[in-house]
Amino acid sequence: IQPTRPTPDVAPSRSVDFLSTALDLRFDLEERAVIGTAEHHLTSLRDDLDSFYLHGVGMEIASVESLPEVSGGAVPVAYDYDGQRLTITPERPLAYGEALRLRITYTAHPMETAGQSGLSFSGFGLYFIDPEGTDPFRPTQLWTQGQTEDNRRWYPTWDYPNDKATLDVTLTVPDSMQTFGNGTLVESTPAGEGLRRDRWVLDTEPQASYLTAFVVGDFAVVEDEYMRGDSTAVPLQYIVEPAYAGDARRIFGETPAMIAAFEAETGVRYPWANYKQATVRDFTAGGMENTTLTILWEGVQTDPRGYLDYTARDLIAHELAHQWFGNLTTAEDWANLAINESFASYLEEIYLEQAIGRAAAQAHGIDDRDAYLQQAQTLRRPIVWYGYDQEGQMFDRHTYQKGGQVLNQLRFELGDAAWRRGLNHFLTTHAGEPVEIDDLRTSMEGVSGRSLRRFFDQWFRQPGHPALDVEQAYFPGSDVYT
């Protein structure tokens, strides 16, 4: 039950640094196709770089061009495409730090790409739900799910979390449909023939490609806000099917209190311009923490009677927590997923303690401990683990439940004040960066003066947990029990 393998080179080496990505997309609903352009601004990380590649699965590449930095026309760029990777050969080798702007014109059929990548989470990346509008029980929707590496199925990119870029996405959709994307809607203009172009921009901090997301459909939108004591506000949107418009505020209404709790715990303000939570049909997970746009499964929508059985409080808190841990700072590879998921599990407990009480938080912690111990009967692996076969193996009770409890243990080891200073140092020092577990260790050591290498080696890099052998004995007539 203890897997041992050599440490592989999990994160692929990068040849270029992606600075920004701009997508211009339209959709053929009948063909379930994406027709678009992807513009990438990047710089070389190598000397004399003569070629590099992007990820893209099952696409039709119409052209690849370089765009001038200042003025002039587009110039064709040589490329080779094998159905998985788009290899770019610049006109001349790039020097270290030299910039290049690429424009790729392409068509993608993401829902035809199943089995074409060997990824453990072999989804489609972009999902067309009843695109012809023929099912009376399902609304027509488009939505994305990129984690772990499925956004490469609908746009060419560097689809691994060890690089981050700002984002500018334009969606052309029927005028009857709404769009929601990363960041802020900065422009919405008629496009003729019953179409509309919506432009969404995320430029405050860069993000990993798996967090690129949008939702298209017919929804009710309930507006809310998180207001701080200094009168600064974060706009909030609760996006549900029209039938649940009257329930949205009850379902998502604790969001402002959650933001307040996480700001207090980390000392870092909510790092984005707004926060949107959208429920969609047939989602492939409980929720996904895309930057400023969390997408949730339809079961989150409940009427007053259903809400008595399922509040989705833990799920809503978990996905919100990722806006700090996972989005502002991002695990550089799936082996270090604890940076994202262990912290989100930990912050669930922090909010429960504030909202309901310490007993509720402790009960949550006991449930997490027991869930991990159940899995540990058949599998024991390190929380930070480079030995997986497929990255989907990392999304388990070691990363989530055990990881959250180990962070809580570290909090008690350091004390609340030092712990919170460490969280603040980690988030502010590494904002916008890919990170790994030693970045957290050095932040905690720096603010506490403690040497924590042994703690991190024991609890994050080694499998298992303490096992106690307890013997008991009672001596009749002596009132002694041992």
User: Domain spans of the chain?
Assistant: 330-459
Helix, strand, coil: what percent of the chain each, to 5?
A: 30, 30, 40
Using CA atoms, how far residue 180 sits from 24, 164, 276, 400, in Å, is: 15, 21, 8, 28
* Three-point CA angle 35, 33, 179, nearest 5°: 75
Q: Residue 475: its pLDDT value, please?
A: 77
Judge whether 360 and 353 are in contact, CB under 8 Å.
yes
Q: Record the pTM.
A: 0.95
Task: Sheet with 195-207: list strands edge to edge.
Answer: 75-76, 59-67, 99-108, 33-44, 16-28, 165-174, 195-207, 184-192
- Residue-level pLDDT at 117: 42
Q: What is the CATH number of domain 330-459?
A: 1.10.390.10
- List residues bridging with 60 in a β-sheet: 107
Nearest-CA neighbor of 104 among 184, 24, 7, 172?
A: 24
Q: Which residues contact 99 (CB under 8 A, 6 or more apart)?
A: 19, 41, 42, 43, 69
DSSP string across 416-447: HHHHHHHHHHHHHHSTTSEE-HHHHHHHHHHH
SS3 63: strand
Q: What is the pLDDT of residue 7?
A: 59
Query: Would you state the pLDDT for residue 69?
Result: 81
Q: Which residue numbers in the chain have pLDDT < 50?
A: 116-121
| pLDDT attached to residue 474 | 80
The vertex-168 CA angle with 162 and 169, nearest 5°, equals 105
Q: How far apart are CA 436 and CA 335, in angstroms?
A: 9
In the three-class reduction of DSSP (H, G, I as helix; E, B as strand; rest coil), residue 454 is classed as: helix
Of 238, 290, 288, 234, which Cα lies nearest the Cα of 262? 234
Residue 279 token pair: 């429920």
What is the distance between the alpha carbons of residues 246 and 251, in angstroms, rounded to a whole number? 10
| Distance in angstroms (rounded) separating the CA atoms of residues 284 and 277 | 16
